[in-house]
Chains A and B, each alone.
With several copies, the nearest count.
Chain A
Amino acid sequence: MKLSFSAEDEQFRQEVASWLRDNLSGEFEKLKGRGGPGDEHSFPQERKVWEQKLAQGKWTCVGWPQAYGGRGCSIEQQVIFFEEYARARAPGRMGHIGEGLTGPTLIAYGTQAQRDKYLPGILDGTQFWCQGYSEPGAGSDLANVKTRAAFDQASGKWRINGQKVWTSLAHESDYCFVIARTDPGSVGHKGLGFFLVEMDQPGIQVRPIEQITGTSEFNEVFFDDAECSSEDIVGEPGEGWKVAMGLLGFERGVSTLGQQMLFQNEFDEVVRLARSNGAASDPVIRQRIARAHTELKIMRYNSMRMLSGQSTGDGSLQKEALIYKLFWATWHRSLGELAMDVMGPECEILDAPPYALNRLQSMYLFVRADTIYGGTNQIQRNIIAERGLGMPKEPRGTL
């Protein structure tokens, strides 16, 4: 074990930090600390321009192989990039679905034609993606896909019908990847397809979901004979589950350390507030702040274990990775509660009517999604017990 980064990596850190210092200024100054979960509705257009700025510096897709246009950064360097990005309070990435999910999926499972068609727009920050996974009523039961895709021999295109939900930034996206049932009689994991679908077409309607915060960043997406070219299915019809699961695997990884830097920014704000309003002298609050600090620190150590495990080439999901989602989601939810209790009765008072939440209030409410999406805490515990401890699987019902 060693904790320190190499001299080369430290130099890379300087490079990232200095580029961000130089470029996250002027017109982009106002984007600092904006975007990201709970604030995705802020400045979407300006943040798209920022993506292009990043692309000019070759700071999009830093983990992609150089052969596909990325920087080919090592895991350590990716960690450093995400850490510095968050430390600089650079805005929440509009391109993270494309960069983190679509790109790696196409590199792993796509055709060369698909890569040629879609990777450049992701790399240069001009094309944005959203994901069509969840469906109403399906919730954590991802395989319970009802959306249908039928191949229309006449037009030579797939026609997609159905509904997706909890689609983040759908109204700001150019493309959506969609899991749909290609085999009408199939159930569960079988008979699915993975489609790359253009959003700007008459067959697609996006309806924002108003959230607990009064804002909307999730959407319902309705597919009514939406079209998709026969070249835009990834993998064979019926093999969509394999692609979808592979894609979910890309969700974990180095970006966790960047996420933790965002958490650190939030935590620091809570600490500042506690020091300024006197809550820091309340022994009960002190215990809670210390506990939040403790677990945030360990979250980082845990990610370092995950990454060190990855870099040793052992492919199986390790225990520290299995517990990670449950850990951070629960931590984040507690941070929201701590923030409110540090504010005391002031936590109720809005910036303005009708419902202008301040940042900590918004965080407090939005974090309630963390223990739900991407597998609720309950589902996470099933996964940990079944995969991590080899305990019996929950039986499916027969309703």
Chain B
Amino acid sequence: MEFAFTQEQEMIRDTAASFLAQVSDSAAVRAAMATETGYDPALWSRICTQMYWQAIHVPEAYGGMGLGYVEVVAMMEQMGKHLLCSPFFSTVCMGVNALLIAANDEQKAQWLPTICEGNTTATLAFNGGVNRWDTTAVTATWRKEGDNIVLNGSYRYVIDGHTADLLIVAARQEGESSDIALFVLPAQTPGVTRAWLPTMDQARRQASIALQEVTVETAAMLSGADSGNAALTRIVDLAAIALAAEQVGGSQQMLDATVAYTSERVQFNRTIASYQAVKHKAADMMLQVEVARSAVYYAACVAQEALSGSTLGAELPEAASVAKSYCSDAYFAVAGDALQLFGGVGFTWEYDVHLYFKRAKSSEHMLGNGAYHRERLAAMLLD
């Protein structure tokens, strides 16, 4: 048992941290926010060609770096801290995961290398527009028609859905209520329409996608070992863990910023950091950040085990719900406390606090909020 980053993992994390400190400062984030794309394509290209992050946990056989989910999580934590605007989460933590879990070898060989080369972004669309994040959220349908498959339906809350090159979409067979399958298709496939959904959190883009009689070859149906329902569940759990890691990074940044600001800010001739009310709030923030981090690191290990097929991977649903529920609540609480302790300036557009405060809410609701995941855990425990 060893529950700390290896030296190599620490190096990867530190490299990411210093790179992001350079390329994702407040000005860069605000510039990206102002575009419809939501990120700077030049920066993404630099990430793909210099840092190779898009390939981080793709097996070497498919052109990837062959690292694990612990490394993905370490990266996401840093991205959360620096609010990086990029299609990393959608491409790597949804698209690549979907292919790793649900695709057969041929499909992996077809799509993963193109992602690793940095030419292709990807995302996952499954939620038909409801406040649920499991297989019951899928409302789109598919049917066989000769040698082809025809897809119909719509999706909301699709991360980077309007810009991704490759879509992995979930649909249930027409007439069959329960069976879900996943399909991979280029976003430019005829019949696909996509629209940006502008969001309160401007540092990550959501979109709606509609499929109208979209015709794809049978080979577009992902057909790995798992059933479509099982695969989708695992893909969502892996994405939730990555998102929880981002939440930890954001929480840490809010704590750090709060300690720094309150140590400068003077009221009644004292730094406000010297007031016990401020200290104790900061202590509660630190508690939440550290507890959240413990949850995420454990979940990262479980995710890694799940991806490598180990028995410990069976804990994935629990670990994902533990991490996502705790981190969602912690990030929102910590960001809210930060805003409060910054006082008036925290309320301005000019200071960065509101960017994190908004990210806290958007990531809380994305893939299920605290109450949602707690009810999921309650069902595991009690029913």
Query: What is A's interface to B at a CB cutoff of 8 Å?
Result: 1-5, 9, 76, 79, 134, 137, 139-141, 144, 165-166, 209-212, 214, 271, 274-275, 279-280, 282-284, 286-287, 289-291, 293-295, 297-298, 301-302, 304-305, 307-309, 311-312, 319-320, 322-323, 326-327, 340-341, 344-350, 352-357, 361, 365, 368-369, 371-373, 376-378, 380-382, 384-386, 388-392, 394, 396-399
Contact = CB atoms under 8 A, between A and B. Distances in A.
A175 to B, nearest CB: 23
Contacts of A345: 127, 131, 156-157, 365-366
Contacts of B278: 378, 391
25 contacts: A1-B301, A3-B305, A210-B349, A212-B354, A287-B374, A291-B325, A293-B381, A302-B291, A305-B3, A305-B297, A308-B3, A319-B286, A344-B365, A355-B202, A372-B343, A372-B344, A378-B277, A382-B279, A382-B280, A382-B283, A389-B255, A389-B283, A392-B274, A394-B275, A399-B270
B374 A396 contact: no
Closest 4 CB pairs of A and B: A397-B270, A344-B131, A290-B374, A385-B279
Contacts of B312: 3-4
A140 B287 contact: no
B365 A290 contact: no
Interface string B299-343: 011100100000010000010011001100000000010011001
Contact of A290 (B197, B366, B375): B375
Contacts of B361: 340, 347-348
Contact of B375 (A134, A166, A287, A361): A287
B283 A141 contact: no
B362 interface: yes
Contact of A211 (B70, B263, B287, B349): B349
B340 A1 contact: no
Interface string B360-383: 011001100101011101100111
B43 interface: no
A305 B294 contact: yes
A312 B283 contact: no
Contact of B339 (A326, A368, A378): A368
B261 to A, nearest CB: 12
A271 B266 contact: no
B1 A4 contact: yes
B375 A349 contact: no
Contacts of B322: 293-294, 297-298
Interface residues of B, number: 89
B280 A385 contact: yes
A167 to B, nearest CB: 12
A352 to B, nearest CB: 7
B295 A287 contact: no
B54 to A, nearest CB: 23
B83 interface: no
B27 interface: no
A278 B336 CA distance: 27
Contacts of A341: 369, 371
Contacts of A384: 282-283, 286-287
Given A308-B2, A327-B291, A392 B201 contact: no
Contacts of A79: 1
Contacts of B12: none
A3 B303 CA distance: 11
B290 A323 contact: yes
Contact of A289 (B200, B270, B321, B382): B382
Nearest to B371: A284
A320 B289 CA distance: 9
Interface in B211-239: none
A268 to B, nearest CB: 10
Contacts of A293: 322, 377, 381
A297 B196 CA distance: 39
Contact of B198 (A340, A353, A385): A353
B271 interface: yes
A302 B326 contact: no
Nearest to A341: B369
B269 A399 contact: yes
Contact of A3 (B3, B206, B269, B294): B3
Contact of B200 (A275, A350, A394): A350
Contacts of A355: 198, 202
Contact of B326 (A140, A298, A340): A298
B42 to A, nearest CB: 22
A297 B279 CA distance: 27
Nearest to A373: B344
B257 interface: no
A361 B284 contact: no
B267 interface: yes
B52 interface: no
A293 B376 CA distance: 12
Given A382-B283, A391-B278, A391-B282, 4 more contacts: A286-B378, A353-B36, A355-B198, A394-B276
> In the complex, which of the residues A280, A323, A350 has the most CB atoms of chain B within 10 Å of its own CB atom?
A323
> In the complex, which of the residues B156, B271, B284 has the most CB atoms of chain A within 10 Å of its own CB atom?
B284
